Amino acid sequence: MEKDNVNTVKYPALLDIKFIKVASSLGMTKRELFVKMVEYFYRTKKDPSDINDDLLKSSFAKSHKTYTSFIKTQEQLLLIPMKEAMDKMISNQKDIVKYFNEQVVNANKSILKNQLEQKAKLQETENLLIKVIEGKEKLKVNFLQILNSYIRNREELGSFKTREKEELVESVRKQISNL
């Protein structure tokens, strides 16, 4: 600041109180604040008497309209189609999960039912096989008893008693058929 060319400005005392408050709140002297104000209005070409600053408002409004139109365009071009596609995809995935769950549950029930049936039939087959094996062993024992009895009785009869031999053979056949 040039100290040799100093000019004075006269203004009311009430305005000086406001001027001091503004300068102290900004951490400047009154002279520094005055220089900054003049420089600000000179560079921005704003009208200090226009408190609402229509130029600034119109600049903000223009920027706001530009941003708003950009956002609306993006919404129409990108966001709405993406949301619709996502909603459709979510719906399709829900249908797939529902269908999959139904199929899996039904398949699991069917498999479980078949496994239980197989288990029951396998148990029946096992029981039958045990009976057959036990019966086979009993049959062998009984057959051996009949055979041994036949051999012993035949040897006791001798070779000349044909009628008695035929009765013995018939008796053995009946015993074997009763097994």
Instruction: Let me know how long the chain is.
Output: 179
Confidence at 90, pLDDT banded by 50, 70, 90: very high
* Residue in the structure block whose two tokens are 């005055």: 34
| CA dist 32 → 36, 45, 134 (Å) | 6, 20, 121
What stretches of 26-79 show up as alpha helix (H) in DSSP? 30-44, 54-74
6: left (phi over 0), alpha (psi -120 to 50) or beta: beta
Question: Across residues 84-88, what is the average pLDDT?
Answer: 93
Q: Determine the Cα–Cα distance for residues 117 and 127; give it in Å rounded to an integer.
A: 15
* Tens-place pLDDT, residues 122-147: 999 999 999 888 888 888 888 888 78
Cβ distance 147 to 158 under 8 Å? no
* Tens-place pLDDT, residues 44-77: 887 777 766 666 677 777 888 888 888 888 888 8
3-state secondary structure of 2: coil
pLDDT at residue 4 greater than cutoff 80:
no
Q: Which of the two residues, 162 and 25, has the higher pLDDT score?
A: 25
3-state secondary structure of 5: coil
Residue 169, C-beta contacts closer than 8 angstroms, at least 6 positions apart:
150
User: Is the pTM for the entire model greater than 0.95?
Assistant: no
Tell me, what's the pLDDT at 20? 94
The token pair that represents 7 in the structure block = 């000019």
Long-range contacts (CB closer than 8 Å, 24 or more residues apart) made by 131-137: none
Q: Which helix (H) or strand (E) holds 162?
A: helix 162-177
Tell me, what's the pLDDT at 68? 87
Q: Which of the two residues, 93 and 168, has the higher pLDDT score?
A: 93
What stretches of 45-161 show up as alpha helix (H) in DSSP? 54-74, 80-157
Question: Across residues 134-161, what is the average pLDDT?
Answer: 78
Q: Determine the Cα–Cα distance for residues 58 and 63; give it in Å rounded to an integer.
A: 8
